[in-house]
Amino acid sequence: MEMMSKLTPIEREALFFHLLYSIICVGLLALPLNLAAGVRLFILVILYNIVMPVIGLRHPKERWFDIWLFSLFTSLFQVLPDWFLSAQLGVLVFPEDGLFKIGVVSGYMAGLWTIPFFMIIFFGKAVRDRYSSAVALWAVAGLSLLIFGASEETMWRIPSWYAVNVTMIGHIAVYLIVPEIILGLSVYLAYEFIRVHKCWLKVPAAFLVMQLYTGSLSIFYFLIEEILIPSFS
């Protein structure tokens, strides 16, 4: 209760919304409905990306809509690194889930990344406002590891995606750990840059985040799977 009292009204609203959304997700994914997993995930992604801007327009001073829009643009570009990992490196599988594919990537993935990106940026902004930019970076790195790590450990159960042919800790591919921290940090820092510049920078900034992530995936896959692991075999 003491922690809740320290939150601003917009932070409490964001927390309440994401808790409610999480309950809806669990319910829709768990109910014995005659709906394929991909269709269920697609419905949940569409729901998030409809409700979020509506709420955001009610809080123009809090930049909620602005954060959501940049998160959505970045999410759309994230189809490319997923496609690269699956079609080129052969280390990521998107099973048949009843939904259309973008290349080899399930269609809902184009909007799914919006959810963690919004949470990371919103959380980083809240920490920065209370403490400092340096503390915010550490907080964003920790939250990114938590969110993306939890996703890797759980999404395969739906089934959504899963890693193959790589070194794993549980269901987490080792080579992904650092790139996903870099992804969270780059999304946050890119937004911090564009929020004081012109709106048209959102799209190129989102594209640059995707490029940095794809490069990080490639180099850490090479370092771990092609150099480190063989050297200890």
Asked if 94 and 105 count as a contact pair (C-beta separation under 8 A), the reply is yes
Asked if 161 and 155 count as a contact pair (C-beta separation under 8 A), the reply is yes
Helix (H, G, I), strand (E, B) or coil at 14: helix
Q: Name the band, by pLDDT with cuts 50, 70 and 90, for residue 37.
A: confident
Q: Name the band, by pLDDT with cuts 50, 70 and 90, for residue 31.
A: confident
Q: Is the dihedral of CA 89, 77, 19, 5 positive or negative?
A: positive
Fill in the amino acid letter for 146. L
pTM: 0.93
Backbone angle region of 46, left / alpha / beta, with phi > 0 → left and psi within -120 to 50 → alpha: alpha
pLDDT of residue 198 exceeding 80, the answer is no
Q: Name the band, by pLDDT with cuts 50, 70 and 90, for residue 139.
A: very high
Measured between alpha carbons, how far apart are the two ends of the chain, in Å? 52
Q: Name the band, by pLDDT with cuts 50, 70 and 90, for residue 107.
A: very high
- Encoding tokens for residue 175? 């080579």
Q: What is the pLDDT of residue 5?
A: 63
- With both helix axes pointing from N to C terminus, report the angle between 177-194 and 114-130 in degrees, rounded to the nearest 10: 70
Q: Name the band, by pLDDT with cuts 50, 70 and 90, for residue 3.
A: low
Count H helices and E strands in the chain, helices first: 11, 6
pLDDT of residue 33 exceeding 90, the answer is no
Q: What is the pLDDT of residue 113?
A: 96
